[in-house]
Amino acid sequence: MIVHRRTCPGPALASVFAKSPMMSGLPPFLRLMRVLNRNALPKLPFCSLNCNRIREDEAVVLSLFVAMAAGDRIAGRDTLALMLDEDSLGDALCAIRQLSGALCVA
């Protein structure tokens, strides 16, 4: 995996994001993944890209986007508070808000 090799996954993901109107979502996506990778209280395992199932941790992250899109920032923050240290919450919320905006536009 790219992150384990300490290589930025941006170039590898850019082509995937460029195939849709989501290119503006790439920077906040990378920032969110970096925060989750570095600052998650429990380590969050994610499936590989070729896996056709969603893990519980991935479903929780996806629910953050649903909460933000619905305008329920309190639920999003409360969920993140269970996953991240306090110092990381603001950066993660900002990234989720920006990525949610890109998803709505796409």
The predicted structure's pLDDT at residue 23? 86
Query: How many other C-beta atoms can be found within 10 angstroms of the C-beta atom of residue 45?
Result: 9
CA distance 22 to 42: 29
Q: Cα torsion at 92, 97, 100, 104 (round to 10°)? A: -170
Q: Which of 23-32, 44-53, 71-80 has the lowest mean pLDDT?
A: 44-53
Residue 4 above 80 pLDDT?
Answer: no
Each residue's pLDDT tens digit, 29-39? 999 988 998 89
